[in-house]
Amino acid sequence: MTAETGQSSGSKPSDDAWAKLVPLDTRFSDIEIRCSDMVICSEIKQSSSERHEWCRITKNLGQGSATIHNKSSDAILVDEAIIPKDGSVDILCGSEIVPGPEGQGYLHYRFTVMPAPESSTQLLKISIDPENAKCSICLNVWHDVVTAAPCLHNFCNGCFSEWMRRSEAKHQHVLCPQCRTTVQYVGRNHFLQNIQEDILKADTALRRPAEDIAVLDSSASIRSNLIIGSKRKRRLSTLSPTVEERDSLPLRCPQCGMGCDRPFCGAYWSSVNVTQGESAPVCSRETFRPISERTATSIPFITHEMNRHEQDITQRCIVQMGKTVQDVAAEWVRRFNDREIDRSRMPLNHAETITASTHVCNDCYEKLVGFLLYWFRITLPRGNLPDDAAAREDCWYGYACRTQHHSEEHARKRNHVCRPIRGNHHF
């Protein structure tokens, strides 16, 4: 494979390249740009070794951008925008360039600006592998990063805000999603925010779609430094009833067996005329209903250990069978009620006493549906899975795998809806 070339247009070449065009096809060589104004002559198609003069790249003031001029006889693409013959547009580090119309076998290049010699040492000090800059909840590069203390793990503001809301509704403490340490403090991390922005500038492929960013921003609730826990403790100490009061009340939550300021204890609080709490909203009796009277409209967030790839496969399996999530949930509630399912991993208290007539709250019903969808998936013949899912090998650690929470590639590549054959969780 011959190397691509460029020719100077009036400017003197320097010893060091200030930028380069990196072909996404690794069989081709990088095009180093050593002049401030340089015409690029190179292969433009994978199937041809002919060289053509197809663009001029002119360095702009500063280190971050340049102007590309289309010198070919056809349009070129820059970040998916069409640049006509003799047209020009500014490009940034990470811009993708295609020297011809999309979809016609043209090579793809990524424009990369090289660090200036005087700043290279500083840049090396703050360089980071994108895998170490990912939120362990959504498995993407942080967005509006926040840091939890004392464990100092980092998450997207929207992801952690949603996790915190769910945790405060279910538990006395908010636990770190990554290490399960009790979180005492959470705040926005402006230093890591700068690193996040640099990573996305260097590799635009890591950017999320605008609609995903909008959803994250709508969930974000951490605007400043936040202390977690103290207000909840004061609320519980003033509202918790005595043992005598508790035993005399007819409505008791079947999950915790007592009254507490959690949403699924709405029946208890209604019996003593308490309609709202400071630490969590108290649900109405309408949210505290028998399992048999409930409807599952979608796959719960916690299903398959919050592995969104496995959730997508389960959804496709259900649609392929011509069913809805509610159809599957109803069928497996019946099997659950007939005791056809092993309940040892069921994420609810008093598992052996629960039947289809047991009253549960919204959150507990989602836990039950997630548990039943695991059994739905694990009992499906491999031939009933989509082709891409059926071709995957089982992860040795199955549903208990920790890597699936921080490596999106591993979560997608291996099947995790299976029993572990390594570790301490197999049965």
Among the candidates 88, 107, 123, a domain finishes at: 123
Q: Which of 285, 287, 288, 265 is nearest to 277 (CA)?
A: 265
Over residues 154-190, the pLDDT tens digits come to: 999 999 988 988 888 777 788 888 888 888 888 888 8
CA distance 238 to 29: 70
pLDDT of residue 152: 87
| Average pLDDT of span 218-245 | 54
Q: Is residue 140 part of a domain?
A: yes
Burial (0-12, 13-18, 19+ Cβ within 10 Å), 113: buried
CA distance 320 to 51: 49
CA distance 221 to 172: 19
Over residues 56-81, the pLDDT tens digits come to: 999 887 657 899 999 888 888 888 88
Q: Do 296 and 405 have their domain in common? A: yes
Q: Do 252 and 302 have their domain in common? A: no
Q: Are 209 and 150 in contact (CB under 8 A)?
A: no
Q: Do 74 and 138 have their domain in common? A: no
CATH number reported for the structural domain that contains residue 31 in this entry: 2.60.200.20
Instruction: Please say if the pLDDT value at position 301 is more than 50.
Output: yes
In sequence order, the 6+-apart residues with CB closer than 8 A to the CB of 326 are 295, 296, 297
CATH number reported for the structural domain that contains residue 199 in this entry: 3.30.40.10
CA distance 230 to 185: 11
Q: What is the mean pLDDT of the chain?
A: 78
Over residues 247-299, the pLDDT tens digits come to: 343 344 444 443 343 444 555 445 555 555 444 444 455 566 788 988 998 99
Look up residue 75 and give its two tokens: 């349009």
Look up residue 170 and give its two tokens: 């279910």
Tell me the helix, strand and coil percentages in the chain, rounded to 5. 35, 20, 45
3-state secondary structure 288-336: CEEHHHCCCCCCCCCHHHHCHHHHHHHHHHHHHCCCCHHHHHHHHHHHH
Among the candidates 53, 88, 123, a domain finishes at: 123
What are the residues facing 69 on neighbouring strands? 56, 88
**Helices in 85-156 by DSSP H: which ranges?**
120-126
For residue 242, what is the DSSP state? P
- How big is the CA angle at 188 (ends 187 and 189), to the nearest 5 degrees? 115
What are the residues facing 111 on neighbouring strands? 21
CA distance 176 to 173: 10
Among the candidates 187, 209, 226, a domain finishes at: 226
Tell me the DSSP string of 369-414.
HHHHHHHHHHTS-GGGS-HHHHTSPBPTTGGG-SGGGT-HHHHHHS
pTM: 0.40
Q: Do 390 and 296 have their domain in common? A: yes
pLDDT of residue 264: 42
Q: Do 175 and 222 have their domain in common? A: yes
pLDDT of residue 322: 94
Q: Do 60 and 94 have their domain in common? A: yes
Over residues 2-30, the pLDDT tens digits come to: 334 454 444 555 667 888 998 888 888 88
CA distance 242 to 259: 10
Q: Is residue 52 part of a domain?
A: yes
Q: Do 99 and 24 have their domain in common? A: yes
Q: Is residue 427 part of a domain?
A: no
Q: Do 110 and 182 have their domain in common? A: no
Q: Are 361 and 267 in contact (CB under 8 A)?
A: no
User: Tokens 């199955």 appear where?
Assistant: 398
Q: Do 306 and 278 have their domain in common? A: no
Q: Do 304 and 401 have their domain in common? A: yes
Q: Do 32 and 110 have their domain in common? A: yes
Q: Is residue 425 part of a domain?
A: no
Q: Are 37 and 60 in contact (CB under 8 A)?
A: no
Instruction: Please say if the pLDDT value at position 102 is more than 80.
Output: no
CA distance 89 to 60: 12
The terminus-to-terminus CA distance of the chain in angstroms comes to: 54
Q: Is residue 105 part of a domain?
A: yes
What is the domain extent for residue 99?
A: 5-123
Q: Do 314 and 277 have their domain in common? A: no
The structural domain count of the chain equals: 4
Q: Kindly provide the b/e burial profile for residues 208-231, where b requires at least 16 CB atoms within 10 angstroms of the residue's own CB.
A: beeeeeeebeebbebeeeeebbee
For residue 190, what is the DSSP state? H
Q: Is residue 202 part of a domain?
A: yes
Q: Is residue 340 part of a domain?
A: yes
Q: Is residue 420 part of a domain?
A: no
